[in-house]
Amino acid sequence: MKRKETQVTRHLSILVVVGLALAAGAPALAGGRPQASPAAKPVSKTPFGKTKDGTPVDLYTLTNRHGMTAKVMTYGATLTELIVPDRAGTPGDVVLGFDSLQPYLAGVPYFGATVGRVGNRIAKGTFTLDGKTYHLATNNGPNHLHGGNVGFDKVVWKAQVVPAKHGEAVKFTYRSRDGEEGYPGTLDVSVVYTLTDENQLRLDYAATTDKATPVNLTNHSYFNLSGDGSGSILGEVLMINADEITPVDDTLIPTGALLPVKGTVFDFTKPTAIGARIDQVPVAPPVGYDHNYVLRKAKGGGREAGTAGRQAEGALTLAARVADPKSGRVMEVLTTEPGVQFYSGNFLDGTIKNRHGVPYRIHDAFCLETQHFPDSVNHPNFPSTILRPGQVYRSTTVYAFSVE
């Protein structure tokens, strides 16, 4: 058995090396400024500290030939750093994060984490599935948020380097046992992070279960395209490929209706500075966006609604584009998911400081959390989040970078 594993590992390393060699002939980044093209370094794995119960945490570093680096740790399968060159070729870290485990253990609001079993909110932490009512932690006012007290962001995942067609990849896996955080069924979940030589960070999620359960996975990276610690994102220009949002009550639970964005402060169908109308968003302070957008393809897209079960994933289509006039960096988000939560960092209040001691203040970062709609499990008219035994949950999101 041991010998077999060694052979498999050796085989994988050869594949990774061959993959890198092939990628070395790939054309320079389209839409971006051609960069010097050093060969990517092989994926490295370094110790990143230990959790409070002594479990070791590792950090994996992926690089590409155009100066991009992605660092992902096994605690929460969390993206801690994403280095992207700006229009002058100067590298900068476009996500909030830390270079040690300690600040994550001390508590940060999901910086870069893989969020689950159900990302976003479940009203009053309650749902009924196949006639049985389940009660989950209410960890966000009266509601359940991002998987509960110890969600997928606060557990240590297993990791292994896997071969990738165009770049480098690490696969993170986690077994969430039956009853964990109140959810039914043992869920085997994985997410593969791939950094490609086309300057894309690609996240491929998969999950299977032995009992029907809701599943809604997302990544909770906080982006600032000018760079971590460079202040407000209100000047960054956003387009969201959506004509509607799911309006919410004052605890951020969807009413169940779909609201056309046309003529409202939620309309990002044309590229608009994030700050252009942010003070008019009709929410109690701290003011800002914290809303789920119904992506264009989702409407009439044939996804099965209700609690019967999920359909096969949708096509990978454009969800959003953000351009930063200061640095010239551009990020496109593509996803197979029907929705995206646009969160403008409203609850950052200066108490958390970055690795250089700079406080993260309100609107110093934004999140684009690709997902099924919030509280879907209580809204039969929303695309279903229910995964049943025998089905495979699949979801893909791509963050594609260029400069202008």
Catalytically active residues, by annotation: 220, 369
15: left (phi over 0), alpha (psi -120 to 50) or beta: alpha
Work out which of 209, 369, 378, 386 binds ligand BGC, going by CB under 6 A. 369
Asked if residue 222 binds ligand BGC (CB under 6 A), the reply is: no
Asked if residue 343 binds ligand BGC (CB under 6 A), the reply is: yes
Asked if residue 380 binds ligand BGC (CB under 6 A), the reply is: no
In 3D space, the residue among 307, 303, 285 whose CA is nearest the CA of residue 295 turns out to be 303
Binding residues for ligand BGC restricted to 289-318, rule: CB under 6 A = 290
Taking residues 99 to 118 in sequence order and writing x for each that binds ligand BGC by CB under 6 A, - otherwise, the string is ----------xx--------
Closest approach, Cβ 347 to ligand BGC, in A, equals 4
Rounded distance between C-alpha atoms, residue 320 and residue 153, angstroms: 24
Taking residues 50 to 89 in sequence order and writing x for each that binds ligand BGC by CB under 6 A, - otherwise, the string is ----------------------------------------
Closest approach, Cβ 290 to ligand BGC, in A, equals 5
Asked if residue 266 binds ligand BGC (CB under 6 A), the reply is: no
Return the number of the residue (46 or 255) whose C-beta is nearest ligand BGC. 255
- In this structure, what are the phi and psi dihedrals at residue 68, rounded to the nearest 5 degrees? -95, 145
Rounded to an integer, what is the distance from CA 279 to the centroid of its chain? Answer: 26
Rounded distance between C-alpha atoms, residue 104 and residue 137, angstroms: 21
Return the number of the residue (327 or 341) whose C-beta is nearest ligand BGC. 341
Return the number of the residue (314 or 374) whose C-beta is nearest ligand BGC. 374
Rounded distance between C-alpha atoms, residue 125 and residue 143, angstroms: 5
Stretch of residues binding ligand BGC (CB under 6 A), selected from 19-27, 160-168, 195-203, 339-347 = 339-347
Rounded distance between C-alpha atoms, residue 88 and residue 79, angstroms: 25
CA atoms within 13 A on the CB side of 70: 27
11: left (phi over 0), alpha (psi -120 to 50) or beta: alpha
Rounded distance between C-alpha atoms, residue 257 and residue 77, angstroms: 34
Closest approach, Cβ 109 to ligand BGC, in A, equals 4
How far CA 133 is from CA of 1, 136, 209, 379, 399, in Å, comes to 43, 10, 18, 15, 37
Asked if residue 341 binds ligand BGC (CB under 6 A), the reply is: yes
Site size toward ligand BGC (CB under 6 A) is 8
Q: Which residues of this chain interact with ligand BGC, rule CB under 6 A?
A: 109-110, 252, 290, 341, 343, 347, 369
